[in-house]
Chain A
Amino acid sequence: MNRKRKSGMERKMERQYFLIVLPGFVIFTIGLIIPTILAFRYSLTSWDGLSAEKPFVGFQNYVNLLHDSNFLQAWGFTILFTIGNTVIQNVCALLFAVALDSGIRLQKVYRTIFFIPCLISSVIVGFIWLKMYSNVLPEFNEIFGTNINFLLFGSSSTVLPGLLIANNWQWIGYWMLIYLAGLQSIPAELYEAAKVDGAGAFSRFKNITLPMLAPSITICVVGITTGSLKVYDLLVSSTGGGPGRASTSVILHTYNTAISGRQYGYGSAMSVSLVIVLLLVALIQVKSLRSREVQQ
């Protein structure tokens, strides 16, 4: 086809292609891009969500956020939850994948068992673990004659580990599957060559497995971090943000401020802060992890 001269035919085709893209483009713009812009606009006002006028206050909401101890506490919890998840879930998912790939029998059965929890809605997972801690696990104390306190959601010092266990139970299998697919795409010859060269199991893992898994690691780290920063559903039915405010995440706090507290402007500033952090974290992680992929 002649590319230089745009015939009427080609222009007509381009118009048809354009019409094909348009519906998706419009829906996406209304549903996601305009809300992003609106969030920023509202964050510069002290709107209560009801009245017609939205008094402009400039960056006052953002200044107030920096002195809002409840908001900072919500960030504190969210960050600890995210770090805990990113470390535990990545390490466990990778170890599980390596174990399943080591030639054990019934690999598919294990794979399905570990994967099933992630098919359950987070709201339900929260409730399941609420009952696990309050009713099921204490029964083991009677069987083994131990005296472990399983009521992890009951005190503000144990609520974070309690939620981490619930979240990891839900998601380890998901990320394990990605690592497993990565492991299975590593050519077996690499390991054999290393064995001939006399490399031990640990050295093979460090020098072959990890570098070859770099793309999977990028996906998992970014996925777990951004997913954990957005935690909300899990909390609704398990702790409700408590005890006190110990497990209130940024989104839950925003929800309470904006919807229940009728501070739309202030709540929007919280949303914007989260969007910015999420974008930055994702970009920084992708960039640094990608550069590692290239080096090796």
Chain B
Amino acid sequence: MKFKTKVKKPEEQITPKKYTGGTLATQIVMTVLAILFLLPIFMVFNYSFKTKKELYLTSALTLPSSLQFENYKKAFVKLDLSTTFTNTFVYTALSVLILAFLCGMTAWAIARCKGKFFKFSYIYFLVGILIPYQALFLPIYIIGYRLHLTNTRYGIIFMYVATGISFGVFLMTSFMSTVPTELEEAARIDGCSVFKTYFRVVLPLLKPAMATLIIMQSFQIWNDYLLASLYVSKKNLKTLTVVIQSLFSSQTSDYTTAMAAIVISVLPIAVLFLSLQKYFIKGMTVGAVKG
């Protein structure tokens, strides 16, 4: 049941392909497509700098006359950004840290123990990948309500952890085969308990896999709408996506503020991706290249 991850050849090793007429044609087509893909993003930025007057009087394609940050200021107030941004950040950060902590431990124990319970656990967690929590929002809401998890910070974090755990365990278990067991055995002979062995010896070796897991999950949790809208209705606990969605429905005619809000909410995750692309791609392809 374990998956080997193939070592990918670095791009430099592949012999460079010849640049022919066909390649040039491809380059032109891809450039056109890239421009089309960028059009909506251009639109968001463009609107976010326009004044209300410019919105109504000028074409959607003309640039704003000056770079003014009035919309960003308005978005800051309307979104109650200091609260919602902090909420989203705290939920995301704590959820992914707990996930990394739990999934690392769980996957390690599952990989090292041959007992029936551990074999069953692995299958049990894997089933979770196939069960879509989006389809189960109703009982998820009911159980949260019964256990007094709704409208609390720990409640929503609990749900993010519960819905992310199966992917995390899968990812971590597939990584475990690359962790050598010799060090663990040495630690055990030295009299370390299982817990100590994990924290002293195994955990440091899991860093790359944990980075991958953390990035993959941050991006999902940061963008989540369904769980946040179900679990949190108190104003001071709301997340960015939920507040932005209500801004969308209240500001249908003057949407320059909404566009500024979009930029603010996407920026952190875009920066995270651009700086840590390597880990992200690894996490995405862990299933794709399993042998």
Q: Which residues of A contact B (CB under 8 A)?
A: 13-14, 16-18, 20-21, 23-25, 27-28, 30-36, 38-39, 42, 49, 96, 99-100, 102-105, 109-110, 112-117, 119-124, 127-129, 131-132, 135-136, 139, 142-143, 169, 173-174, 177-178, 181-182, 184-185, 188, 215-216, 219-220, 226, 229-230, 232-233, 236-237, 250-251, 254-255, 258-259, 264, 267-268, 271, 274-275, 278-279, 282-283
Report 14 cross-chain contacts, Cβ distance below 8 Å, ordered by A residue: A20-B198, A28-B125, A31-B165, A32-B163, A36-B136, A96-B30, A119-B219, A119-B223, A236-B225, A237-B249, A271-B138, A274-B135, A275-B132, A282-B130
Query: Could you say which residues of chain B place their CB within 8 Å of the CB of A226?
Result: 132
User: Is the Cβ of A25 less than 8 Å from the Cβ of B281?
Assistant: no
**Those of B163-189 within 8 Å (CB) of chain A:** 163, 165-166, 169, 188
Q: Which residue of B lies closest to A236 (CB)?
A: B245
Give Cα distance in the complex from A18 to B27, angstroms: 55
Residue-wise interface mask of B (12-48) relative to A, using a CB-CB cutoff of 8 A (1 in contact, 0 not): 0011111100110011011001100111110110010
B90 interface residue per 8 A CB criterion: no
Give Cα distance in the complex from A268 to B8, angstroms: 45
User: Is the Cβ of A119 less than 8 Å from the Cβ of B266?
Assistant: yes
Known A-B contacts: A109-B34, A219-B288, A271-B135. Give 6 more (CB < 8 A): A27-B161, A31-B143, A39-B136, A135-B60, A181-B284, A182-B289
Given A24-B106, A129-B40: A255 and B137 within 8 A (CB)?
yes
Query: Could you say which residues of chain A place their CB within 8 Å of the CB of B284?
Result: 174, 177-178, 181
User: Is the Cβ of B143 less than 8 Å from the Cβ of A35?
Assistant: yes
**Those of B143-177 within 8 Å (CB) of chain A:** 143, 147, 158-159, 161-163, 165-166, 169
User: Chain A's nearest CB lies how many Å from the CB of B290?
Assistant: 7
Query: Could you say which residues of chain A place their CB within 8 Å of the CB of B130?
Result: 278-279, 282-283
User: Is the Cβ of B245 less than 8 Å from the Cβ of A237?
Assistant: yes
Give the contact stretch, choosing among B66-74, B77-85, B107-115, B206-214. Answer: B107-115
Q: Which residue of B lies closest to A222 (CB)?
A: B287
Query: Could you say which residues of chain A place their CB within 8 Å of the CB of B161?
Result: 27, 31
User: Chain B's nearest CB lies how many Å from the CB of A213?
Assistant: 9
Give Cα distance in the complex from A117 to B130, angstroms: 25
Query: Could you say which residues of chain A place their CB within 8 Å of the CB of B61?
Result: 136, 139, 143
Q: Is the interface of B mostly helix, strand, loop or mixed?
A: helix
Among A33, A39, A237, the residue within 8 A (CB) of B248 is A237
B134 interface residue per 8 A CB criterion: yes
Among A103, A139, A181, A233, the residue within 8 A (CB) of B59 is A139
Among A18, A23, A114, the residue within 8 A (CB) of B34 is A114
User: Chain A's nearest CB lies how many Å from the CB of B14?
Assistant: 6
Give Cα distance in the complex from A34 to B158, angstroms: 14
Among B16, B105, B223, the residue within 8 A (CB) of A122 is B223
User: Is the Cβ of B139 less than 8 Å from the Cβ of A121?
Assistant: no
User: Is the Cβ of A104 less than 8 Å from the Cβ of B118?
Assistant: no
User: Is the Cβ of A39 less than 8 Å from the Cβ of B138?
Assistant: yes
Give Cα distance in the complex from A141 to B33, angstroms: 19
B75 interface residue per 8 A CB criterion: no
Query: Could you say which residues of chain B place their CB within 8 Å of the CB of A236?
Result: 225, 245
Give Cα distance in the complex from A46 to B136, angstroms: 17
Q: Which residue of A lies closest to B249 (CB)?
A: A237
Give Cα distance in the complex from A5 to B204, angstroms: 32
Query: Could you say which residues of chain A place their CB within 8 Å of the CB of B225?
Result: 121-123, 233, 236
**Those of B201-249 within 8 Å (CB) of chain A:** 219, 222-226, 241, 244-245, 248-249
User: Is the Cβ of B248 less than 8 Å from the Cβ of A127?
Assistant: yes
**Those of B99-124 within 8 Å (CB) of chain A:** 102-103, 105-106, 108-110, 112-113, 115, 117-118, 121, 124
Given A102-B23, A184-B8, A267-B138: A139 and B60 within 8 A (CB)?
yes
Given A24-B103, A104-B27: A230 and B135 within 8 A (CB)?
yes
Among A100, A128, A282, the residue within 8 A (CB) of B40 is A128
User: Chain A's nearest CB lies how many Å from the CB of B17?
Assistant: 3
Query: Could you say which residues of chain B place their CB within 8 Å of the CB of A24?
Result: 102-103, 105-106, 125, 165, 169
Given A27-B165, A181-B281, A188-B14: A121 and B138 within 8 A (CB)?
no
Give Cα distance in the complex from A128 to B48, angstroms: 12
Question: Which of A31, A139, A216 lies at the interface centre, i.e. has the most chain B CB atoms within 10 A of its CB?
Answer: A31
User: Chain B's nearest CB lies how many Å from the CB of A107?
Assistant: 8
Question: Which of B40, B117, B287 lies at the interface centre, i.e. has the most chain A CB atoms within 10 A of its CB?
Answer: B40
